[in-house]
Amino acid sequence: MKLRFVVNPRSGRPRSIAEILSLLRGFLSERALDADMVMTEGPGHATEIARDAVSAGCLRIVAVGGDGTVNEVAQALIHTPAALGLVPCGSGNGLALHLGLPRFLADALELATGTSGRIAELDTGTANGLPFVNVMGIGLDAEVSRRFNRLQRRGLPAYARAALAAFLGRKTERCRISVGGRRETLDALLISVANSDQYGNQAKIAPHARVDDGVLDLVAVRPTGVAGAAILGAQLFLGSIDRNPRVRRLRGARFLIERPSAGLIHTDGETHMASASVEVLVRPRSLRLIVPADCAAIVPAEDRSAAGFALQFP
């Protein structure tokens, strides 16, 4: 079976790319795999590499990086027979943590290239046509991503500093949210639409969200002060942010978010300018991904009817 490894040399984990490449080459040589390895050179390159791999008949394409790398590789694999393998080396690794994928490089490589796991089908989303696998957002969410992406050094402390700086300069937008035939208007500090339960680093913006239920979870946070933000931050990591009275959670297959003017959005941490209206859609079971055989985050296809899975709306 032909494999291709797509390696992001700017991944956020504090390990040198030279060490990662050395371990990768040693693994490939020891296993005598029919595989090649290509390093990304800039934004969008991972999608090109993965698309070429699909055209060449690769049935597994392994992303070595963080959620941004996963996003770019996944764009080329959606609605294709190829399966995505994931070796998490990013700053947050939100999707990998949600799915319970191995954190150690050797274990992740074994899962991505071997036969111990299974291929699962998970949902993806689009925001004004831009694909995302993990989470998209507007408001404070997008501003934090913009600041973080400018940093040379990554990791949770750097992310926390970016989040604090963004919060101190925060702005509130009056937004109208349409879902399932209903409309709500609220003042929002941020709006996230999540496929998995978290941003990364166990920061669970959408507790109880699943990547295989055919819906997305929208979480809107109303304006708050410093004390309220501290409580929200603690609940974010405790997995209970949806219990906060300043948080509104909705579920659906399509959202229309209307804000006063055009501005930033992010998709899996990558920022883009977008119009005042942002349409967010789910694409059910559109991506094949290699997960541990006992992964509880994605129900096997043969068990879905027994589990009672169906589209759920607010």
pLDDT digits (tens, 9 = 90+) for 117-164: 999 999 999 999 999 999 999 998 888 888 877 776 666 777 777 787
Residue ranges of the chain that CATH labels 3.40.50.10330: 3-115
Report whether 288 contacts 111 (CB < 8 A): no
pLDDT: is 145 or 232 the higher one? 232
* 313: pLDDT strictly greater than 50: no
Query: Which pLDDT score, from 0 to 100, does residue 2 have?
Result: 85
At residue 56, the pLDDT reads 93
CA neighbor of 172 nearest in space, from 137, 139, 205, 218: 139
Amino acid identity for residue 32 in this structure: A
Instruction: Single out the residue of 176, 199, 179 nearest to residue 187, CA to CA.
Output: 176
Q: What CATH number has the domain spanning 130-282?
A: 2.60.200.40
pLDDT for 12 equals 58
Place of tokens 């694909």: 131
pLDDT band, residue 15 (cuts 50/70/90):
low
Question: What CATH class has 3-115?
Answer: alpha beta
- Per 3-state DSSP, the chain is made up of helix, strand and coil in percentages (nearest 5) of 30, 35, 35
Query: Which one-letter DSSP state was computed for residue 303?
Result: G
Query: Which segments of the chain belong to CATH 2.60.200.40?
Result: 130-282
pLDDT: which is higher, 84 or 11: 84
Half-sphere exposure of 84 (CA within 13 A, CB side): 35
At residue 145, the pLDDT reads 84
pLDDT of residue 240: 96
Alpha-carbon distance of 223 to 237, in angstroms, equals 19
* Model confidence band, residue 223 (pLDDT cutoffs 50, 70, 90): very high
Size (the chain), residues: 314
| CA 292/CA 98 separation, integer angstroms | 12
Residue listed under structure tokens 């948080």: 247
What's the pLDDT score for residue 310? 45
Q: Hey, which residues does 247 pair with through a beta bridge?
A: 221
Q: How confident is the model at residue 189 (pLDDT cuts 50, 70, 90)?
A: very high
pTM of the model: 0.90
CB-count burial class (<10 Å; 0-12, 13-18, 19+) for 202: middle
Report whether 306 contacts 207 (CB < 8 A): no
- For residue range 255-301, what is the model confidence (pLDDT) as tens digits? 999 999 999 999 999 999 999 999 999 999 999 999 999 998 898 76
What is the structure's pLDDT at 210? 96
Span 200-210, average pLDDT: 93
Q: Is the pLDDT of residue 311 over 50?
A: no
DSSP state, residue 74: H
Q: Which of these ranges, 160-169, 197-206, 249-258, has the smallest mean pLDDT?
A: 160-169
